[in-house]
């Protein structure tokens, strides 16, 4: 599977050097950008080595978008490095043919990416949505706030023992019940700890923090790109192209379900922070 990357080229920027290299798994250059907006010409001189037609100065940002090869998730070796928001925005701009923020501002593209994340989380419970939270009990306190972003419970544990759900809070019998946004546990006579495993809604991107990394596994980030491109083309009233990307999103989503239900969960990149609840 190939991925469209946006990274800096490697080489000396001193106003005279024109020779640079790409990452080792690059298979095709898409475009080279000087000062973030100016497209420049280049030629390949050897695998992963290119010569530009200009010599960048030391202060000039020099980046390239190029296709790379990564491991497929069902090989058991997932591509480990998540993209940043700035990379995803770049990929959307590449797809819609706009690199200069003339039509669509970063905030609009971020909103579309967040909408795609929400769509993914609403439609299925994926392994990469799993998380854990610790409940540090307080003597005499039975009610504790459930974790932020909570979607669906997997289990409540005391040590290695999984608790059973109770029918009501008056008759827990060593179990638990959820009541509104709280979880009711047996009233402790001493401090202790419980663990909750659950599916969470993935956090949204904040367009002002473009270094934030994506929580959808790298193998499936193309779903976000297709969805955002669909929204852009719908807004432009180019409905035939929008439909192509809508179909690509739905097809990729269904493939993701198949992939993540037929392989061992241990092979999935984990985004499961542990939260402490009090």
What pLDDT digit, counting tens, does each position of 233-272 carry? 999 999 999 999 999 999 999 988 888 875 444 444 443 4
If you average pLDDT over residues 170-185, what whole number do you get?
84
Tell me the sheet residues that pair with 182. 145, 179
**pLDDT score at 3:** 45
Q: Looking at the predicted structure, is the pLDDT value of residue 5 above 70?
A: no
pLDDT band at 88 (very low <50, low <70, confident <90, very high): very high
- The percent helix, strand, coil of the chain (3-state, each to 5) is 30, 30, 40
Q: How many CB atoms are located within 10 Å of the residue 104 CB? A: 19
- pLDDT given for residue 235 in this prediction: 93
Helices vs strands, H then E, count in the chain? 4, 15
Q: Which of 78-92, 188-202, 249-263 has the highest mean pLDDT?
A: 188-202
The residue with tokens 């770049």 is 90
In this structure, what token pair is assigned to residue 195?
A: 């663990």
User: Which CA distances in Å does 16 have to 143, 174, 222?
Assistant: 68, 74, 38
Over the stretch 31-46, which tens digit does the pLDDT of each residue have?
677 765 566 677 777 6
Number of other residues whose CB lies within 10 A of the CB of residue 107:
11
| Structure confidence at residue 100 as a pLDDT band (50, 70, 90) | low
Orientation angle between helical segments 106-123 and 221-235, nearest 10 degrees: 120
Range scoring the smallest mean pLDDT among 41-50, 161-170, 178-187, 210-219 = 41-50
Closest CA to 206 of 110, 90, 76: 110
pTM of this structure: 0.64
Is residue 212 over pLDDT 50?
yes
Residue 60's pLDDT is 78
Which pLDDT belongs to residue 66? 61
H-helix segments, 137-237: 221-235
Q: Could you tell me the two tokens for 15? A: 């106003």
In the chain, what are the domain boundaries? 1-68, 127-201
Query: Is 70 exceeded by the pLDDT of residue 4?
Result: no
> Dihedral (C-alpha) 24, 70, 221, 233: value to the nearest 10 degrees?
70
CA 151 – CA 138 distance, rounded (Å): 25
Q: What is the mean pLDDT of residues 3-7?
A: 55
Yes or no: say if 120 and 126 are a contact pair by the CB < 8 Å rule: yes
Q: Report the alpha-carbon distance of residue 133 to residue 152 in Å, rounded.
A: 13
| Cα–Cα distance for residue pair 96/233, rounded to 1 Å | 8
* Residue 117 φ then ψ, to 5°: -60, -45
More confident residue, 67 or 11: 11
pLDDT value of position 258: 86
* Fold category of 127-201 in CATH: Immunoglobulin-like (2.60.40)
């Amino acid at each position: 599977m190939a991925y469209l990357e946006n990274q800096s080229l490697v080489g000396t920027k001193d106003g005279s050097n024109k020779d640079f290299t790409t990452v080792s798994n690059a298979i095709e250059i898409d475009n080279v950008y000087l000062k973030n907006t100016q497209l420049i010409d280049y030629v390949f001189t050897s695998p992963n080595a290119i010569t530009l037609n200009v010599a960048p100065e030391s202060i000039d940002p020099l980046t390239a978008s190029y296709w790379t090869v990564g491991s497929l998730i069902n090989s058991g070796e997932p591509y480990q490095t998540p993209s940043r928001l700035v990379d995803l925005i770049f990929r959307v701009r590449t797809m819609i043919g706009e690199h200069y923020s003339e039509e669509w501002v970063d905030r609009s593209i971020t909103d579309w990416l967040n909408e795609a994340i929400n769509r993914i989380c609403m439609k299925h419970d994926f392994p990469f949505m799993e998380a854990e939270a610790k409940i540090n009990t307080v003597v005499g306190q039975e009610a504790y706030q459930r974790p932020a972003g909570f979607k669906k419970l997997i289990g409540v544990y005391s040590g290695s023992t999984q608790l059973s759900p109770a029918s009501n809070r008056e008759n827990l019998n060593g179990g638990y019940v959820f009541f509104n946004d709280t979880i009711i546990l047996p009233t402790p006579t001493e401090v202790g700890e419980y663990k909750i495993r659950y599916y969470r809604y993935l956090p949204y991107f904040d367009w002002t923090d473009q270094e934030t990394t994506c929580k959808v596994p790298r193998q499936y980030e193309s779903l976000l790109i297709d969805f955002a491109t669909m929204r852009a083309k719908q807004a432009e009233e180019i409905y035939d192209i929008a439909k192509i990307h809508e179909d690509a999103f739905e097809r990729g989503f269904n493939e993701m379900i198949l992939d993540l239900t037929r392989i061992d969960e241990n092979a999935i990149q984990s985004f499961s922070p542990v939260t402490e609840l009090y």
